[in-house]
Amino acid sequence: MSAIMEGDLPRKPRFELGFAETAEEVLETQQLRYRIFAGELGAQIDSGAEGVDRDQYDPYCRHLYVRELESGRIIACTRILTDERAALAGGFYSAGEFDLDMINSLPGRVMEIGRTCVDADYRSGAVIATLWQGIAAYITNEGYDYLFGCASIGLEDGGATAHAILDQIRGKYLAPAGQHVRPYVTLPAADARPTEKPKLPPLLKAYLSLGAKACGEPYWDQDFNCADVFMLLNVSDLHPRYARHFLGKSAEETAPLAAGHA
């Protein structure tokens, strides 16, 4: 006979990754978005009286979520808008902030991710990476060639930190000029710079770690009080260090992501 120790038993999964399939599940993701964007970040949201973050693009998106199994709560989400669905929606969400002629000229299939957020109590590597794995699986299973979206930099200090981060981006992470997009509202200058080198926001850091490039100057989103940096990832140019991650590496080992409204 042999004894089975408690430590030998398989651990129950903590999280469930899935796409919202019902109106109730979509509503849960919109309520999470509202709690973070309006409640935590102070964004001005048109549907705020209902306690949800909802816009005209939501019906055309796939809503990817991470649910904590013990509590049953959705604790992270993002939405995916493909080129086919964007045609039905009247365009991509980012087209309200940038001239996207460059995106329309790219060879291959493109998809946009946006409204990405993670509950403040769950911004751990496992939760965040689980969300990225869902994005990765969708890209590879459906055969998309480019991923794009916006990474936000907060302007709580009047833009000083944002401009310092943008200086870093201009020095190392800009896409070629032919892949730049033009923001419709440019970020105003800041009167000062931080005394120490600022940390990159987690979503922006994750994009850069994967090999994505910034496509020019940011958009000044006054409703969300942030600078939106347009990021473009050519899936065939994934950074080698993260290629396995993006194709399904284990959640504990994947790169971080965090709240970002774009």
pLDDT in tens, the chain (262 residues): 445 555 566 667 889 999 999 999 999 999 999 999 988 878 888 766 789 999 999 999 999 999 999 999 999 999 999 999 999 999 999 999 999 999 999 999 999 999 999 998 988 778 878 888 888 889 888 999 999 999 999 998 899 999 999 999 999 999 999 999 999 999 999 887 777 889 888 788 888 888 899 999 999 999 888 999 999 999 887 766 555 555 544 333 333 344 444 4
Token pair, residue 112, equals 């946009």
Is 231 within 8 Å of 148 (Cβ atoms)? yes
Polymer length in residues for the chain:
262
What is the Cα–Cα distance from 140 to 135, expressed in whole angstroms?
Answer: 9
Using DSSP bridges, classify how beta strands 226-234 and 213-214 pair: parallel, antiparallel or unpaired: antiparallel
Per-residue model confidence (pLDDT) at position 239: 62
Residue 186 per-residue DSSP state: B
Three-class SS state of 195: coil
Give the amino acid at 173: Y
Backbone angles phi, psi at 55, to 5 degrees: -140, 180
Q: How far apart are the first and last CA of the chain?
A: 58
Is 78 within 8 Å of 115 (Cβ atoms)? yes
What is the Cα–Cα distance from 83 to 110, expressed in whole angstroms?
Answer: 6
The helix or strand, by DSSP H or E, that contains position 65, with its residue range, turns out to be strand 62-68
Domains of the chain, earliest start first: 12-253 (3.40.630.30)
Residue 21 per-residue DSSP state: -
Per-residue model confidence (pLDDT) at position 197: 87
Give pTM, 2 decimals: 0.85
Per-residue model confidence (pLDDT) at position 257: 41
Per-residue model confidence (pLDDT) at position 245: 57
Per-residue model confidence (pLDDT) at position 119: 93
Per-residue model confidence (pLDDT) at position 190: 86
Per-residue model confidence (pLDDT) at position 250: 38
